[in-house]
Structure 1
């Protein structure tokens, strides 16, 4: 079998990546935190010798739109034009150069009020009642009175309305003008709009009822007496997602049956339970070195078990399965996942890039590309938040749950029940309380529902510690994690 222990440095030879893991060298069996990643890292100072360029805008000096030279400055969104020119337009306009038929116009919002009303239609045409936009119009479009009429009518309506109501009535006026388009096609080309049409549009704007603000959503769920309504207290907090939290976790509990894992070691002739525990211990060390999220670790272990549940692998490929699972989980849960070369390096050069990519595809196909797998860590965080558990107690529950990842017998149990059991043991160890009515409501479990998982996790904690499987205990023995691994155990 390929060596499991990984050197604590990265695959890349750059100074930035080497200094990234120098802090981990001191804490090889300790804990690596995000606050320690800047220790010993050189500070790169770069000076820009280029002088700052001042943007001399002609708008500060111009008093009228006509004084602005639109050809000197480029608009933020580029040159805006929708005019076209063909041979017919050249004959009609008499232009010798076709490039002059397309006029580049930029949007000017500050000085549009100074434009005279006697400006020709060929240069200015309001669009849908918006007075602060300028767009060119070709000679062939002058014979369409509906465009001119639509702009005039919408300008009359919106100019009399307050600023707050202009945005509300813009679309209504444009829709009303489009409905009257058929009746305007028969009108002469240069005659103004009829008073009847403008009156009808004004009536549409005046008669239409004002917009009413939507009512605040009401709480559908009623919590029983004696239960603290965590979702109601955080109803306005968008990060808690209190509107959908109960539905989300009920959906995750219902999906647990789709990802059930059976006893697969008996079907694997080349690996055993201890080798799987070594792999999980190595994956925790990788998660610690790369400073990955805990959700990434739990998802990667779940992908490994799902793959081994269906596919037989050799002991020389077991580490590749773990590395590919971490690579996939990093893409799913991390904002900045490590590179594939980093995962190849932590395998001590035992595999090539093509092997890693092929294993990645095999793992994804094996799980049908479903990454939304219910994880025990997500349930634990939800239950601890609803019970308002303090951070030391939550950290202790996290240690119990993460330590159980190496226990092969837990793979057949429900993730939500494992999370409940880990939290219950932590509450008992801290001598805070038992399984309260609030936890019963939000978890949906009573104590007797997950008592087998409680006994299973507590029994694994009492097993003698092996030197080859000490990464998790050393991790949670650090002061950053309140040294929860050193707390005395309880007997049930």
Structure 2
């Protein structure tokens, strides 16, 4: 087998690599060398050798003078280095004098006259200030103390330094104190002090404000008609019934219902439908039953979902996240020990991350204005049932009717107090109990004609054939714990 041929350029490059020093500059026009032995190695130029123009008589000195040349070169390099470095400006530091010492400007050299001094005053120089020991107390004349006290500024002193009028730093507490002082002074100039007001004027203003609040919220209206049973009076000494102001509480809740009215929003939701909302509410009922949450938590969660959907557009993938976040917020509001965030992530089967759930929780709170004191129908139902003195099976049947109506989209525009009255009335009819009494008219504030159409709507929802995907509420109230009220025979709308 014949040996491999090498290209002449390769040999040339190898020869040049061994010959030419890497530190010297090689000319570009190098002829090709056929034989490496004939190559004459060029002279290596010294790093610090002088140029041709400056050579002249600067011949190389003997071996003994090499150290002298080296030292001269070092000195020259150091001088060049110092020239390149920019000169450093001297910083002038102003020494702040102690707060208890009065400083005096130094006398200029050209001036022969001493500065004007107060009688008995001593000049304190900077050197004297440096020599003062911190632990020792300097003896200061009384006149100096009077002058320094007069110059003190009425500001809160920081722990680090003493503030003066020239100080730009000012704390928030000082700003608040200034504003309060200015506000008090303006009020004092505009209106006379409270002590100078007549007692009759004070009583007149207070009674006028109290009457306005009572008229608006109907507070203190405990005058029960003769043909109405006074439930609060009979339980006046029971601390758990709070009969002293129970009527005021529910009058206040009814007054707040106008602030949380929900419009018909399904037309604006492009990706959602009524059926999808019913599936979501059924899933939220399952969460309430699995975590053993209060019923108030479920009703508040559904209310938060409707409020959010009425103001925000949501896709199919985000609908379950909205329901989980609403239940999470409601459980924090109504539960003594709410479930953890990991529990809700587990219920969602890992469809969402922790960050997504927390961000949706913040979004729900912002939409509702951080106001979670929303009147819900379940609270009204319990109040009306107690005032009517109904049994527990009848109340459970009314709770079943009311909870089943959560999946009905047509009920979102109806006020919760009216829904509770209609559910209770429908339970009366299903159990063959007497109709709407005057006691219920007084405590609910509704007559039968005002909510009869709502009762028909709830009854129509119960009569619809059950669907396999929406069986959570029926199965829940078919248990013996709830007296199997879901199996109660239904009635027609004509019997209402």
RMSD across aligned C-alpha pairs, in angstroms? 1.3
Secondary structure of the corresponding residue to residue 287 of structure 1 = helix
Counterpart in the other structure of 1:372: 373
- Equivalent position of 2:430 in the other structure: 429
- Per the TM alignment, residue 220 of structure 1 is displaced from its structure 2 partner at its CA by 5.8
How far the C-alpha of 1:226 sits from its partner, in A, is 1.8
Structure 1 or 2, whichever has the larger Rg, is: 2
Take 1:475 and 1:324, find their aligned partners in 2: how far apart are those partners? 23
Q: CA-to-partner distance for each residue in 1:256-280, whole Å, 9 max, x for gaps?
A: 1100111111000011000000000
**CA contact under 8 A between 2:300 and 2:374: conserved in structure 1?**
yes
Tell me the equivalent position of 2:232. 231
Structure 2: tracts of 5 or more residues without a match: 1-134, 136-219
Q: Is the 8 A contact 2:221 2:247 kept in 1?
A: no
Q: Does 1:396 align with 2:397?
A: yes
Aligned to 1:248: 249
How much has 1:471 moved relative to structure 2? Answer: 0.3
> Aligned pair in 2 of structure 1 residues 409, 220: CA closer, same or farther (>3 Å)?
closer
Distance, in Å, in 2 between the alignment partners of 1:478 and 1:290 is 17
The 5 A counterparts of 1:141-220 are none
CA distance in 2, matches of 1:271, 1:384: 36
Partner of 2:259: 258
Cα distance in structure 2, aligned partners of 1:453 and 1:220: 28
Match of 1:313 in 2: 314
Per the normalisation by structure 1, the TM-score is 0.55
Runs of 4+ with >2 A deviation = none
Q: What does residue 112 of structure 2 align with?
A: none
Q: CA deviation at 1:467?
A: 0.2
Instruction: Give a deviation string over 1:115-156, Cα, whole Å, max 9, x none.
Output: xxxxxxxxxxxxxxxxxxxxxxxxxxxxxxxxxxxxxxxxxx
Shift in Å, 1:400: 0.1
Q: Deviations over 1:393-426 (max 9, x none)?
A: 0000000000000000000001000000000000
C-alpha separation between the residues in 2 aligned to 1:376 and 1:433? 22
Q: Deviations over 1:35-91 (max 9, x none)?
A: xxxxxxxxxxxxxxxxxxxxxxxxxxxxxxxxxxxxxxxxxxxxxxxxxxxx9xxxx
Deviations 1:141-180 (A, max 9, x none): xxxxxxxxxxxxxxxxxxxxxxxxxxxxxxxxxxxxxxxx
Per the TM alignment, residue 432 of structure 1 is displaced from its structure 2 partner at its CA by: 1.4
Report what 1:168 is aligned to: none
Deviations 1:286-323 (A, max 9, x none): 10000000000000000000000000010000000000
Give the equivalent residue in structure 2 for 1:327.
328
Please list the CA deviations of residues 235-273 of structure 1 after superposition, one character each: whole Å capped at 9, or x if unmatched: 111111111111111111111110011111100001100
Name the structure, 1 or 2, with higher relative contact order (CA <8 Å, separation 6+): 1
Name the CA distance, whole Å, in 1 between partners of 2:418 and 2:451: 6
Mapped to 2, the partners of 1:220 and 1:453 lie a distance apart of 28
Q: Which residue number in structure 1 is paired with residue 482 of structure 2?
A: 481
- The 2-side partners of 1:259 and 1:281 are apart by 23
Task: Return closer, same or farther for 1:270/1:431 CA change in 2, 3 Å cut-off.
Answer: same
| Secondary structure of the corresponding residue to residue 412 of structure 1 | coil
- The whole-number CA distance in structure 1 between the counterparts of 2:371 and 2:288 is 22
Residue number in structure 2 paired with 1:345: 346
Cα drift, residue 433 of structure 1: 1.1
Name 1:62's counterpart in structure 2: none
Query: Which residue is 2:303 aligned to?
Result: 302
Report the Cα distance in structure 2 between the residues aligned to 1:279 and 1:261, rounded to whole angstroms: 18
Instruction: Decide whether the 8 Å contact of 2:377 with 2:420 is kept in 1.
Output: yes
2: distance between equivalents of 1:468 and 1:369? 33
SS of equivalent residue, structure 2 residue 267: helix
Higher alpha-carbon deviation: 399-408 or 425-434: 425-434
- Whole-angstrom CA distance in 2 between matches of 1:391 and 1:446: 24
The match for 2:491 is 490
Q: Secondary structure at the match of 2:412?
A: helix
| Cα deviations by residue, 1:341-373 (Å, 9 ceiling, x for unpaired) | 000110000000000000000000000000000
Distance in 2 separating the partners of 1:466 and 1:391: 28
Partner Cα distance (2:226, 2:241) in 1: 23
- Once residues 382 and 265 of structure 1 are traced to their aligned partners in structure 2, the CA distance between those partners, rounded to angstroms, is 32
| Match status 1:381 vs 2:400 | no
| Cα distance in 2, alignment partners of residues 429 and 311 from structure 1 | 39
* Secondary structure of the corresponding residue to residue 445 of structure 1: coil
TM-score normalized by the length of structure 2: 0.55
Task: Tell me whether 1:450 sits opposite 2:459 in the alignment.
Answer: no
* Correspondence for 1:288: 289
Does the residue aligned with 2:293 lie in a helix, a strand or coil?
coil
- How many residue pairs match? The answer is 276
Once the 2 structures are TM-superposed, how far is the Cα of residue 229 of structure 1 from its aligned partner?
0.5
